[in-house]
């Protein structure tokens, strides 16, 4: 008899866990209280990247005359822009629903609560042999700020705007805050980003962050790093945020993007023997098993990097481990991280700081977009590709790429790290010309002092 698997949460981790479990012969029930696809599909990755693509198109249209195309006055239909972002969401959500139907995954709608070897959803008890927790996270509010005020929104609320703000204060200079700043800037919105840490985009190579700031500040985005909000004056038509240095920032809207909180409270996890961290994340071992041997965890709710693609990989790994199929630890050695600002930033492997902390001597190979024919042809000359290698062996440890198509280019470096390639070996691989991907070859060659135009 096939094992009964219940997956609690239908986001990127839960969807994949359910579908993979069904592919592996389990009897699978997927419990989701809202829409399949979770935050990524409905509130994160897909709608925000749709908006960013539209904003980037506007950037290109506005400089089209430089390319020999006269377009005249360009106007923005913000309402249509916001409505259009739902089209790919609906298409992909339908795809998830269809995949569940094809694989025989039973979908139960409603809030699931774990109790006595089952998940209760309303009046129904769904018993399990193995339970996969994929309950995700939700935007975190900020103490001292009235999160209920209509002029204060999270990353969820800002996706439901009906009118374009003239001035925006973004609290939090991480990935979410910088992506929304990058979206609104071309629309003519005056943007102030407040970050309590000394620099924005924590965890990104400091040299890349400095270059990124230089580029986006030209668009009028202002950064207030190492600053706290001391007080907020709320009005019907906006807010004024006063910083700890006395600066007063007036805005029509305040976006609070200071992190996300796991949705683990009040669903019976502790009573089921699942241990939670102080921050509410589900504790799992290297195989993604919780303290209860029949309960597993995957995705954002277990902490670490909160990335949809990592959650999907964890979901697949968790359900296969639960079913006893090729049981092995979750390998996070190669996980690309992508930031969809303009310019894009993509990373994989170790940063120079992390590599040095791990005891490596680090050598950096760098190639700039300004010397890349494809980037110049696309009128996108800003950016750089950096490959980090072990100084002695040349083994590739990590990379950061900033510039046009960076989020597509990064993957071959991930493969190189996974396969244990050196910079010399990666540089020997012939890359098509002209392509932006040539920058990877050039940076690898530069790391060993053999780039024809750079060394």
Indicate which residues carry an active-site annotation: 433
Residue 311: how many CA atoms within 13 Å on its side-chain side? 29
| Residue found by looking up tokens 């004056």 in the block | 233
How far is residue 109 CA from its own chain's centroid?
A: 26
Q: How far is Cα 319 from Cα 131, in angstroms, rounded to an integer? A: 9
CA distances from 419 to 331, 412, 416 (A): 14, 10, 5
CA distances from 395 to 155, 388, 441 (A): 39, 9, 15
Q: How far is Cα 199 from Cα 224, in angstroms, rounded to an integer? A: 9
Q: Kindly report the CA angle at 43 between 40 and 47, in degrees rounded to 5?
A: 90
| Residue found by looking up tokens 């580029």 in the block | 215
Residue 340 near residue 179, CB atoms below 8 Å: yes
Which 3 state secondary structure label does DSSP give 96? helix
Residue 260 near residue 95, CB atoms below 8 Å: no
Which 3 state secondary structure label does DSSP give 79? helix
Residue 147 near residue 141, CB atoms below 8 Å: yes
Q: How far is Cα 58 from Cα 75, in angstroms, rounded to an integer? A: 9
What tokens were used for 121? 């959803």
DSSP state letter for 300 = G
């Amino acid at each position: 008899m096939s094992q009964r698997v219940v997956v609690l949460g239908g986001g990127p981790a839960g969807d994949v866990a359910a579908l993979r479990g069904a592919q592996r012969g389990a009897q699978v029930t997927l419990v989701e209280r809202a829409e399949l696809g979770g935050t990524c599909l409905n509130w994160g990755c897909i709608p925000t990247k749709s908006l960013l693509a539209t904003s980037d198109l506007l950037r290109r249209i506005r400089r089209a005359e430089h390319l020999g195309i006269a377009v005249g006055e360009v106007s923005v239909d913000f309402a249509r822009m916001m409505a259009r972002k739902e089209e790919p969401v609906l298409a992909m959500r339908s795809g998830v629903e269809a995949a569940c139907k094809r694989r025989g995954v039973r979908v139960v709608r409603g809030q699931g609560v774990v109790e006595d070897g089952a998940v209760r959803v309303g009046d129904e008890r769904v018993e399990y042999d193995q339970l996969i927790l994929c309950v995700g996270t939700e935007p975190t509010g900020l103490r001292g700020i009235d999160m209920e005020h209509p002029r204060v929104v999270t990353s969820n609320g800002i996706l439901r705007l009906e009118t374009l703000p003239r001035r925006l204060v973004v609290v939090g200079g991480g990935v979410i805050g910088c992506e929304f700043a990058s979206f609104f800037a071309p629309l003519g919105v005056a943007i102030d980003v407040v970050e309590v840490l000394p620099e924005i985009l924590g965890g990104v190579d400091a040299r890349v962050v400095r270059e990124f700031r230089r580029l986006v500040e030209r668009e009028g985005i202002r950064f207030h790093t190492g600053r706290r909000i001391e007080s907020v004056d709320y009005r019907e038509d906006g807010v004024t945020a006063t910083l700890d240095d006395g600066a007063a920032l007036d805005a029509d809207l305040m976006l609070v993007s200071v992190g996300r909180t796991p949705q683990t409270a009040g669903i019976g996890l502790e009573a089921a023997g699942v241990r939670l961290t102080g921050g509410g994340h589900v504790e799992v071992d290297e195989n993604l098993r919780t303290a209860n041997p029949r309960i597993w965890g995957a995705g954002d709710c277990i902490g670490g990097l909160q990335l949809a693609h990592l959650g999907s990989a964890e979901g697949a790994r968790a359900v296969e481990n639960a079913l006893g199929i090729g049981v092995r630890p979750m390998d996070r050695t190669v996980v690309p991280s992508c930031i969809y600002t303009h310019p894009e930033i993509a990373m994989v492997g170790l940063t120079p700081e992390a590599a040095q902390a791990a005891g490596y001597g680090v050598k950096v190979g760098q190639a700039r977009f300004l010397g890349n024919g494809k980037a110049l042809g696309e009128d996108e000359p800003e950016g750089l590709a950096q490959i980090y290698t072990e100084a002695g062996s040349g083994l590739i440890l990590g990379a950061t790429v900033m510039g046009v198509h960076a989020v597509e280019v990064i993957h071959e470096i991930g493969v190189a790290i996974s396969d244990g390639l050196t910079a010399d070996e990666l540089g020997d691989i012939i890359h098509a010309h002209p392509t932006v991907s040539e920058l990877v070859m050039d940076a690898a060659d530069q790391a060993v002092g053999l780039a024809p135009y750079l060394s």
